[in-house]
A = this chain, B = another copy of it.
Amino acid sequence: MRHDKSLPLGAKIGILGDGQLGRMLSQAASRLGFKVVVFGPDAESPAASVSALSKVARYTDLEALDKFAAQCDVVTFEFENIPVASLEHLIAGGARVAPNARALGITQDRVSEKSFARSVGIRTVDFHEVNSLDDLKAGVARLGVPSLLKTRREGYDGKGQVWIRDVADIDAAYASLGGRSAILEAKADFVREVSVIAARGFGGEVKTYPIGENHHVGGILSTTLAPAYVSESLRANAVEIATRVLEGLDYVGVLGVELFVLSDDSLLLNEIAPRVHNTGHWTQDGCLCDQFEQHIRAVAGWPLGDTEARFQVEMTNLLGPDVLAWESLSAEAGARLYVYGKDEPREGRKMGHINRIKGRV
């Protein structure tokens, strides 16, 4: 089904952001015959080094953004902290941009993200908006301890977060914000963390991948096992949540929805990532159309691809020095290694991942 939005072979896809997600998006786009232009701050980035063209500039450099957009048939992003104003500037200038700026804006802010989720009937942890020390005190009084204080914006992999375990922690926790507005979240009594990677095309069609179960270590994703062992009702519930998010945001592209599984098997939304997601890397070896190709298909107006799982895969992140074990990792049978081409294996830095085939589905 062609529609007006279908980009032809050889069209140029612009990617805002130059990390490993941009790298894998670029490779998927090339495989489909598109040319890729990467926009980001680093000339020798993981994404720029596998792309036809790159524009090295800051995300707030409107002149550079205009030149970039002039080269592209569609602009997308791999990084959720692109300034919304930059995206709006591109759109005002006539660029085709997907996902849309509203979706980016909502998911950049933890309060608006949860408020949006609730507005479309998705349960979230209880939360309290924090703009002052008094707000925080009121929040702790309402939500109890332990509760989790997070900056409203930015912060990932556990950064910008602090647990309040006692009322006595409040002042120090508030001070740690350095004046940034924040959100206080009730502790979710979850037994597992799962995620669903889902895509929506320009025509409104939705496809979801099988559910992944995620394990974090020190706030950073360590492994995803997918398809996870989940009940049919959990699966259906997760798909329903993802669909409501996609439709509520009028989203075009791939996103990741992180969910907490409670002891009664019900789900709470944890976070929406308006981009391809680390918990979707397993699709590279579990499915014929991985999340990266799926995103490119969606933003290019191509038909969405096959999301059926062919294998159960365990994805393990290679953080910091983990990647230095490439000799043994590359010698494993039944596994596929991905290295992002970053120079310094700093502690906690995502340097690559390995997908291990656990079995047939």
Interface residues of A (CB under 8 A from B): 1-2, 6, 9-10, 23, 26-27, 30-35, 44, 49-52, 285, 288-289, 297, 302-303, 305-306, 308, 310-311, 323-324, 326-327, 330-331, 333-341, 343, 352, 357, 360
Determine whether the beta carbon of A30 is less than 8 Å from that of B49.
yes
Determine whether the beta carbon of A341 is less than 8 Å from that of B302.
no
Most chain B beta-carbon contacts within 10 A, residue among A26, A336, A338: A336
Question: In the complex, what residues of B have CB within 8 A of residue A9's CB?
Answer: 323-324, 326, 339
Report the separation of the CA atoms of residues A50 and B50 in the bound assembly, to the nearest whole angstrom: 5
Question: In the complex, what residues of B have CB within 8 A of residue A310's CB?
Answer: 311
Question: What are the 5 closest A-B residue pairs judged by CB atoms, nearest first?
Answer: A33-B339, A49-B52, A303-B331, A30-B50, A306-B333
Determine whether the beta carbon of B35 is less than 8 Å from that of A31.
no
Question: In the complex, what residues of B have CB within 8 A of residue A23's CB?
Answer: 30
Question: In the complex, what residues of B have CB within 8 A of residue A297's CB?
Answer: 330
Question: In the complex, what residues of B have CB within 8 A of residue A31's CB?
Answer: 27, 337-339
Determine whether the beta carbon of B10 is less than 8 Å from that of A27.
no
A300 to chain B minimum Cβ distance, whole angstroms, is: 9
Among B52, B285, B334, B341, which residue has its beta carbon within 8 angstroms of that of A30? Answer: B341
Closest residue on chain B to residue A341 by CB atoms: B33
Report the separation of the CA atoms of residues A360 and B311 in the bound assembly, to the nearest whole angstrom: 11
A54 to chain B minimum Cβ distance, whole angstroms, is: 10
Question: In the complex, what residues of B have CB within 8 A of residue A335's CB?
Answer: 288, 306
Closest residue on chain B to residue A335 by CB atoms: B288
